Amino acid sequence: MFTSLRSAYPLDRLAPDARKKFDADPSYFGDIYIMDADGSHQKRLTSTPGYDGGPFFSPDGKRIVWRHFSSDVIADIYTMKTDGSDVRRITDFGALSWSPYYHPSGRYIIFASNKLGFSNFELYLVDTEGKHEPVRVTYTDGFDSLPVFSPDGHKLSWISGRTADHKSQIFIADWNDAAARAALKQAPLRMTASTSPAAAPPAAATLPTTAAITAQDLHTHVAFLANDALQGRMTGSPGAAQAAQYIADQLKAAGLRPLNAAGFMQPFEFSAGVKVIPDQNRLSVTAAGASKEFRVEQDFRPLSFSATGNAEGEVVFAGYGLSVPGKENEGYDSYAGLDVKDKIVLVLRYVPENVSPQRRAELNRYAGLRYKATIARNHGAKALLVATGPNSPNPGELTPLAFDSSLSGSGIVAASINADVANTLLAPSGKDLKSLQSALDDEIPKAADVRFTLPKITIGLTTTLKHIKKTDNNVIAWLPPTSGKSKEYVMLGAHYDHLGFGETASLAVKGEEHLIHNGADDNASGVATVLEIAAALAAERKAHPEKFTRGIVFALWSGEELGLIGSSRYTDHPALPLTDEIAYVNFDMVGRLRENKLILQGLGSSSVWRKLIEKRNVVAGFNLALQNDPYLPTDTTSFYPKNVPVLAFFTGSHENYHRPTDKTDTINYEGTKRIAKFAEQLTLDLVRAPQRPDYLKVDYAQPAIGGRESLRAYLGTVPDYAAEVPGVRLSGTRGGSPADKAGFKPATS
């Protein structure tokens, strides 16, 4: 049995694009063949485009197990009979799964996969039918792969990089077959379209939606998008592609048009993963004239969004590194009274532990490490270090490479450090991580002895990452103005991507790790709302064309959870001029209306918002919470720095945020219907208004604490969340900030 690279695809028959792929990587077209031991009777067993390789026979010789690549970074485990029939897909990880090998009992297969991060291969078990979710075997960061059982099944041999010099070596361990079988038996059933009919969403064309905004239609949309079969809609995944196609089909069925001849899909490239370059990452700590070097992947690890670069200098401990807008009892500012300009900031991961569930939900929305890095950079810091405190989940451990909410560059050098490194930094001050975190966990972020410049300590940090590229799509459609005279338009948007199996930014509690994060509220609810408004306005435009003197664009973004990638790509390359966009209205997490409270954000971006909102709320009757700040951790931040007034609809965070428990049955569909109708009427007001909304630049409001301690370095720049360029590419500045006064301008190319 062998894999042939050329026989399956004669080179003179390949299409030009396929020939380019072959020239770049001939293994892309490998197929599996079987033959007699003397080389005779060769028979081809696989013929699907993509590389099929690494085949092994089952212990009884009746089946073959192998890996099949569906793309250059996605591979899964398959089995078949030795004549090529009865092909079964055993895994569906959305990752690179390979090196499968049968246990001598024939009851299960061991394989390696980088499901938890591009460079972090771990060993997994799966039953030979693929009925249950695979069970993780190894728990060491780095490379574990190429497993082989001894003939009696009592030993396991594999290759691992768990060595002091990170070089791969052969390891051998005892194997407990009974424990392995018990673990597989207890594993949850595999929920995919191929193995569970309940997991397969209905075909988009058969979904019973109407032109009216109804709770039933909203439920239909959310149920499709949050179905297990879409596997959490991770950007660039097959589930995200399925969601995008569903959205495009719905927009087309409602009578909307694509913005250009290319159709409803707007492709964009993004970083789908990162790889640490071991010999190009360095961390040194100097205290009392003595310098100590730390080890990458053991003592520290660059964060996935880190800039490639160097940083040296003093260290400032900034608590949890949070910056949450709101009044004094609602907001949270870890940087109040703290000077971090040209220094390296050390912060804690997560949020304070001793807070109410409601307060935790409020803070969690601003606790993404990508967002913390942006806040540190905005305050003038040149690097960020993150430590997981002893009171938090995963105490003292390094943050996984694929953890946080962005794989794009952040414009700041950033790394995770373990507890030993953190306490080394804190030792000269006579403090330790435990006592500092315990004080912060009671929410006293302004206490002078909790946030401070670390004395007698300087560090040197170098980070280097290699980015792995993939593509995904925004889905964009519109209703053109009927007059033909106006070029102006309103845009309504929502992101459709989510967290997959929790590879990035998951807040899963113990027992929920690596389960599908369905994202019903975040953000199937927002997508459903936009789709319902689009269908309703398309019907209204057909009945009353005279009302539509401006156009309406409907945009469903991917890549929001990775750092506003899709919407930022659009604002860099808009299909219609942004100067003609009179307003951007966003819907992110609008499915959990409670106590009739609707939060509207970004009101400071235009003077018209309060009047329009108050007018429409006379009928809608919401208990409104109005917030001025337009710099939000959602897609509005791609538009506001481009001089577009923004408004964001939001029903608040909750205990299911970024957890597998954010499911279809948690949504308040009647409440979401009321929000959609409210937004529909507000959109019509914008379309028909004689004047476009004015644009206001929101000034940075410095805390009025008094005294020199309230003075702090603050730049006020807004980074481009999607840019991957040397240095820091700016998309704008906050009004009244030092950067604004100095004349900083957003990048134009």
pLDDT digits (tens, 9 = 90+) for 39-51: 888 899 988 777 8
Other Cβ atoms within 10 Å of 61 Cβ, number = 8
pLDDT tier at 586 (50, 70, 90 boundaries)?
very high
As beta bridge partners, residue 267 has: 473
Cα–Cα dist 136/95, whole Å: 14
- The separation between CA 499 and the C-alpha centre of its own chain, rounded to angstroms, equals 5
Averaged pLDDT score across all residues of the chain:
85
pLDDT tier at 604 (50, 70, 90 boundaries)?
very high
DSSP state for residue 608 in the 8-state scheme: T
Structure tokens at 352: 């304070």
Cα–Cα dist 525/531, whole Å: 10
Structure tokens at 169: 């070596």
DSSP one-letter string for 122-189:
EEEEEETT--B--EE----SSBEEEEEE-TTSSEEEEEE--STT---EEEEEE--HHHHHHHHHHSPB
- The separation between CA 340 and the C-alpha centre of its own chain, rounded to angstroms, equals 28
Cα–Cα dist 367/373, whole Å: 10
**If you average pLDDT over each of 228-232, 342-346, 429-433, which comes out highest?**
342-346
Cα–Cα dist 19/30, whole Å: 14
Backbone phi, psi, residue 60, to 5°: -90, 0
Cα–Cα dist 426/548, whole Å: 62
At 712, which amino acid appears?
R
Least confident of 6-15, 177-186, 232-241, 622-631: 6-15
Structure tokens at 107: 């009851």
Cα–Cα dist 642/634, whole Å: 15
Does residue 20 have a pLDDT over 80? no
Does residue 721 have a pLDDT over 50? no
Least confident of 354-363, 599-608, 693-702: 693-702
pLDDT tier at 389 (50, 70, 90 boundaries)?
very high
Of 557, 681, 671, the closest CA to residue 617 belongs to 681
Does residue 249 have a pLDDT over 80? yes
Q: Once rounded to an integer, what is the mean pLDDT over residues 721-735?
A: 47
Does residue 447 have a pLDDT over 60? no
At 3, which amino acid appears?
T
The predicted pLDDT at position 196 comes to 32
Cα–Cα dist 408/202, whole Å: 34
Structure tokens at 695: 């644009």
Estimate the crossing angle of helix 526-543 against helix 238-253, to 10 degrees. Answer: 20
The predicted pLDDT at position 25 comes to 46
The answer to whether 438 touches 392, Cβ cutoff 8 Å, is: no
- The separation between CA 744 and the C-alpha centre of its own chain, rounded to angstroms, equals 30
The predicted pLDDT at position 450 comes to 81
Structure tokens at 459: 């560090």
As beta bridge partners, residue 124 has: 111, 136
Cα–Cα dist 591/226, whole Å: 13
Please, where are the H alpha helices in 544-608? 565-572
Does residue 142 have a pLDDT over 90? no
- Domains of the chain (ranges, CATH numbers): 2-186 (2.120.10.30), 210-272+469-688 (3.40.630.10), 278-463 (3.50.30.30)
The answer to whether 500 touches 233, Cβ cutoff 8 Å, is: yes
The predicted pLDDT at position 327 comes to 67
The predicted pLDDT at position 707 comes to 25
User: Is the omega angle on the peptide bond into residue 523 within 30 degrees of 0, that is, cis?
Assistant: yes
Cα–Cα dist 617/674, whole Å: 11
Least confident of 194-203, 287-296, 302-311, 324-333: 194-203
pLDDT tier at 579 (50, 70, 90 boundaries)?
very high
pLDDT tier at 289 (50, 70, 90 boundaries)?
confident
Q: Once rounded to an integer, what is the mean pLDDT over residues 169-194?
A: 81
Of 498, 524, 493, the closest CA to residue 649 belongs to 493
Cα–Cα dist 639/571, whole Å: 7
- CB-side neighbour CA atoms (13 Å) of 449: 7
Cα–Cα dist 476/570, whole Å: 10
pLDDT tier at 512 (50, 70, 90 boundaries)?
confident
The answer to whether 498 touches 558, Cβ cutoff 8 Å, is: no
Of 198, 146, 122, the closest CA to residue 513 belongs to 122
Cα–Cα dist 30/511, whole Å: 39
The predicted pLDDT at position 503 comes to 77
The answer to whether 184 touches 133, Cβ cutoff 8 Å, is: no
The predicted pLDDT at position 13 comes to 39
Residue appearing with tokens 């945009």: 555
The answer to whether 642 touches 746, Cβ cutoff 8 Å, is: yes
Of 535, 530, 566, 547, the closest CA to residue 649 belongs to 530
The answer to whether 386 touches 357, Cβ cutoff 8 Å, is: no
DSSP state for residue 230 in the 8-state scheme: G
Q: What percent of the chain has pLDDT over 90?
A: 60
The predicted pLDDT at position 293 comes to 95
Residue appearing with tokens 């373990």: 418
Helix or strand (DSSP H, E) at 406: none
Q: Once rounded to an integer, what is the mean pLDDT over residues 577-595?
A: 97
Q: Once rounded to an integer, what is the mean pLDDT over residues 344-359?
A: 92
3-state secondary structure of 669: helix
Length of the chain: 749
Longest dimension (CA), the chain: 89
Pairing of strands 43-44, 31-34: antiparallel
Map 487-545 to HEC letters.
Answer: CCEEEEEEECCECCCCCCCCCCCCCCCCCCCCCHHHHHHHHHHHHHHHHHHHHHHHHCH
- The separation between CA 322 and the C-alpha centre of its own chain, rounded to angstroms, equals 19
The answer to whether 231 touches 516, Cβ cutoff 8 Å, is: yes
Q: Once rounded to an integer, what is the mean pLDDT over residues 175-186?
A: 90
Structure tokens at 478: 């519109």
Does residue 596 have a pLDDT over 90? yes
Helix or strand (DSSP H, E) at 615: helix 609-620
The answer to whether 582 touches 693, Cβ cutoff 8 Å, is: yes
Cα–Cα dist 344/381, whole Å: 6
Query: In angstroms, what CA-CA distances link 605 with 600, 614, 693?
Result: 12, 16, 9
pLDDT tier at 359 (50, 70, 90 boundaries)?
confident
Backbone phi, psi, residue 694, to 5°: -75, 160
